[in-house]
Amino acid sequence: MAKARHSRFDCNPGCSVEAAIGLIDGKWKSIVLWHLLGGTMRFNELRRTMLNCTPRMLTNQLRELEEDGLIVRKVYAQVPPKVEYSLSELGRSMEPILSALKRWGDANIGLYGKPEGHDPREAA
């Protein structure tokens, strides 16, 4: 069952933070956005970079990101079908936020039992 989208915010202090987090609150959304910072990708390219994400989950996350205006889905009329995903202007505006999250993660990943400096994009 799909989650309720964009519930009414109470606009107390922190409302804008709630709204921003609401756009990237899926487990894989921020990771998809991070990978798309490098440029346009096809579904299977994204799937290969996110090995623990099921195809169904990736599809759902991509649909929600598109619905929220953070990514653009381009379908080419050819056989077999070709679909590409890229960041919209709004999605591209999240680059400083995603970069800050990465810096924080790099500085603190040792606290969570992961090797420091691990970047899944470098494994590809």
Count how many domains the chain has: 1
Tokens of 2: 């799909």
For residue 18, what pLDDT is reported?
84
Would residue 8 count as lying in a domain? no
For 82, the token pair is 């070709």
Q: What is the mean pLDDT of residues 43-53?
A: 95
Global confidence as pTM? 0.79
Residue 95 domain-assigned (yes or no): yes
Residue 120 lies in a domain: no
Which tokens is 81 given? Answer: 């079908």
CATH number at residue 34: 1.10.10.10
Determine contact, residues 35/49, Cβ cutoff 8 Å. yes
Answer yes or no: are the C-beta atoms of 15 and 98 closer than 8 Å: no
Residue 114 lies in a domain: no
Whether 63 is covered by a domain: the verdict is: yes
pLDDT, tens digit, for every residue of 60-106?
A: 999 999 999 999 999 999 998 899 999 999 999 999 999 999 999 99
> In this predicted structure, what is the pLDDT of residue 16?
85
